[in-house]
C-alpha cells in the first residue's frame, strides 16, 4: 500500500475489468417503477373534464416492493454488447 492517496477507479459491472480513468466508461441507469393500473370505472366518461387528473396519474409511481434502480458502469467493449441486447432477462423455459 503505497502512494498515500486513494485512486478512484471503476470496475466494469459486466466483465469485472478495471476501467482506468483514462478510458471512457459507460453508465447505465435502470429504473423499475410500478405504475398504477387503469381503473375500469373511469372509462364511462370519455369526455372527461378531468384530463389534468389523468396526467397526474401518468407520473404516479406506486409504492411497490419491486421498485428498484440500478447503476452500472461498463467498459466500452461491454457497453457495445449491452446496447444490442439490453433485455438480458432469462425467462424460465416453457415445458
Catalog residues that contact Zn ion under the rule CB under 5 A.
Answer: 12, 14-15, 75, 78
In this complex, which beta carbon is closest to Zn ion, that of residue 36 or of residue 76? 76
CB of 54 to Zn ion, least distance (A): 43
CB of 21 to Zn ion, least distance (A): 16
In this complex, which beta carbon is closest to Zn ion, that of residue 15 or of residue 34? 15
In this complex, which beta carbon is closest to Zn ion, that of residue 18 or of residue 53? 18
Q: Compute CA distances 73 → 8, 15, 32, 34, 88, whole Å.
A: 13, 10, 18, 24, 16
CB of 88 to Zn ion, least distance (A): 14
19, 28, 79, 75 alpha-carbon torsion, rounded to 10° = 0
Q: Residue ranges of the alpha helices (H) in 1-95?
A: 51-59, 76-82
Amino acid at each position: 500500500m503505497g502512494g498515500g492517496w486513494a485512486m478512484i477507479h471503476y470496475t466494469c459491472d459486466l466483465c469485472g475489468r478495471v476501467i482506468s480513468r483514462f478510458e471512457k466508461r459507460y453508465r447505465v441507469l435502470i429504473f423499475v417503477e410500478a405504475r398504477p393500473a387503469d381503473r375500469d370505472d373511469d372509462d364511462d366518461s370519455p369526455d372527461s373534464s378531468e384530463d389534468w387528473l389523468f396526467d397526474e396519474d401518468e407520473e404516479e409511481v406506486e409504492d411497490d416492493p419491486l421498485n428498484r434502480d440500478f447503476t452500472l458502469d461498463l467498459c466500452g467493449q461491454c457497453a457495445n454488447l449491452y446496447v444490442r441486447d439490453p433485455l438480458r432477462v432469462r425467462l424460465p423455459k416453457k415445458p
